[in-house]
Chains A and B, each alone.
Chain A
Amino acid sequence: MSNTSTPPAVALGGLRKHYGDVAAVDGIDLEIRPGEVVALLGPNGAGKSTAIDMILGLTTPDAGSVAVFGRSPAEAVREGAIGAMLQNGTLLDDLTVAETVRLVASLHRKPIPVERALRRAGCEDLAARRANRLSGGQAQRVRFAIALVSDPALLVLDEPTAAMDPATRRDFWKAMYEDTAGGRTVLFATHYLEEAEEYADRVVLMNGGRIAADGTVAEVRAVAGGRTIRAAVPGADAAALLALPAVTACELRDGRARIATADSDATLRALLAAHPGARDIEIAAAGLESAFLSLISD
């Protein structure tokens, strides 16, 4: 439907990259629609950074295709359509923060004013400071301002909060969240599960160079852990409960049932239809963490 009118923000097809014998990215297909905020989740060595480098055109794939807004990464970069915070990037010690952002702005065709980029990234108070006088968290915010200054339609953040303490991390995401209210597409790599849960519309889980799961936070949870329904179900029998839709396991003790389900909505509806007397119902998410662990242990 939207494929015909607007090209996807990012489209990867059969993407592969090997380093020697190691398949860093081992055939991934991914489509990100404009305006989506996507978390790329995975353990170290999952291939997140390599995938991101290929989206940015910093690394050439061995096989497969990359398109950013229907164009090659190089073209998208030339047009200022991509802004990125790379991992381990440093700033220039001999320029102030404002000068550094101005330098990058001067290279782009349609930059936003430097002051606005600094404000959006929450670092206008650091404008006159040299990069070697910044804390890790402050430096990251400056790099966020650099990523924003071209007013990119796609923002790519490779583990942006790795060097931040929890409070700084929260501030950073707040700034990011406010910034993306305008419909910017965001792809961020992280290994903080709560960041993916809280800030992403969609989670793409990578492991061993492949995509292990892809969907909303709720969907990814369901793929692996699903949810647990606990309820007092008078007169129930275990076999009947197990036969309810989406149920993967069931335990029954003293009239209290513990039901594991891949789709708690469907299970609950069926449960209530069959057992109108069910009460004290609790539904617990399995948590992205257990989903994550079960997926990457395969």
Chain B
Amino acid sequence: MNPTYTRLEIVRMLRNPRFLIFAFFFPVLLFLLQANVFVTGSGPEKASAVAVIMVNMIAFGAVFAAMNNGARLAVERAAGWQRQLRLTPLSGRGYMFGKGLTGMLLALPVVVAIPLLAVIAEGVRLDGGEWTRIILGIWVGAVPFVLLGLLIGQLVTPDTLQPVNMGVSLAMGFLGGLWIPVDAMPGWLQTVSPFLPSYWLTQIGRGAVTTDLTRSLGLSVAVLAAWAIVLGALVVWRYRKDSARA
């Protein structure tokens, strides 16, 4: 990818108030709110409860950034911008790759900001390995969600974008355990949750902060990798279908 193109793609996203609100400020504020209003107790006990919430909110921010990024694909497709780009040497593959890369870069601020706040304002203390697992793990774990965003962006029109994105976000957030930590879930939800990839994204970080209701890192990585492969294949399939129709 050329740096000018990537930079301007990021500039576009940062100028978009919707993105800043939903994929950055909202998860950050929700983290501070949950950490200060719903967590009782003090000292190390509180810090460890806050750490669990932190993991969930990082995952939430990363998922929303990825979904927002993909939504823009639908808008660009409908507006004829994709046709305009097809008159440049940028290949369709390059375009999708660029959008994927932007999605990953846009997930980064929230993935870094929430841990910083957790350390500075909430007194969360973890070792280097645990931080690496949480920050790097959740960021890389966002790959299937970026792909899901791209797939939705290729499938929907700007009119159907809102409800589809809302539905997927609700499923990921509520059923997948981003908003309600697995500890607070009713039994039936604990059964349903593992069918959603967002459950596994929180599990990547969860093991670093608690031993309650955790799955092994290896299993979490494997499940997310499987999601990434399936969604990646669907993105490629849809892209080929789009090009063939032309």
Check A99–B83 contact: CB distance below 8 A: no
Among candidates A58, A88, A95, A106, residue contacting B86 with C-beta atoms closer than 8 Å = A58
| Closest partner residue, chain B, to A77 (CB atom) | B87
Is A90 part of the binding interface, using a Cβ–Cβ cutoff of 8 Å? yes
Residue of B8, B76, B79, B88 touching A77 (CB-CB under 8 A): B88
- CB of B241 within 8 Å of the partner chain: no
Contacts between the two chains (Cβ within 8 Å), count: 69
| Closest-CB distance, A30 to chain B (whole angstroms) | 20
A230 to B81, CA, bound (A): 54
Question: Quick one: which of B8, B80, B87, B88 contacts A95, CB cutoff 8 A?
Answer: B8
A84 interface residue, CB < 8 Å from B? yes
Closest Cβ of chain B to A35, distance in Å, is 21
Q: Is the CB of B4 within 8 A of A86?
A: no
Interface pick from B10-18, B50-58, B200-208, B218-226: B10-18
Q: Which of B15, B85, B90 contacts A94 (CB 8 A)?
A: B15
Known contacts A77-B89, A102-B8; A107 and B246 CB within 8 A of each other: no
Q: Are B15 and A107 in contact (CB under 8 A)?
A: no
B5 within 8 A of A: yes
| Beta-carbon contact of A150 and B88 below 8 Å | yes
Inter-chain contacts of B160 with A (CB < 8 A): none
Q: B1-43, CB under 8 A of A: which get 1 and which 0?
A: 0101100100111011000000000000000000000000000
The smallest beta-carbon distance between A123 and chain B, in angstroms, is 16
Q: B84 is contacted by which of A57, A89, A106, A109 (Cβ under 8 Å)?
A: A89
Given contacts A60-B246, A102-B4, contact A107 B83 (CB under 8 A): no
The answer to whether A86 touches B11, judged by C-beta atoms less than 8 angstroms apart, is no
Main secondary structure of the interface of A (DSSP, over half): loop
Contact B81 A90 (CB under 8 A): yes
Chain B: interface size category: 20 to 34
Interface check A56, CB cutoff 8 A: yes
- Interface hits, A51-95 → B, CB 8 Å: 56-60, 77-80, 82-84, 86, 88-92, 94-95
Q: Are A84 and B87 in contact, with the CB atoms below 8 A?
A: yes
Pairwise interchain contact A92-B11, C-beta atoms closer than 8 A:
no
Which partner residue on chain B sits nearest A80 by CB separation? B89
**A106-B87 contact given A92-B12, A99-B11, CB 8 Å threshold:** no
B44-98: which have CB < 8 Å to A? 76, 79-81, 83-90
Q: Within 8 Å of chain B (Cβ to Cβ): is A146? A: yes
Q: Which residues of B contact A146 (CB under 8 A)?
A: 84
Contacts of A80 in B (CB 8 A): 88-89
Which 5 residue pairs spanning A and B have beta carbons closest together? A106-B4, A107-B88, A89-B80, A90-B79, A94-B12
- Please give 13 more A-B residue pairs, beta carbons under 8 A apart, in addition to A60-B246, A82-B87, A103-B4: A57-B86, A86-B80, A89-B83, A90-B80, A90-B81, A104-B85, A106-B2, A106-B8, A107-B2, A107-B5, A107-B88, A107-B90, A108-B89
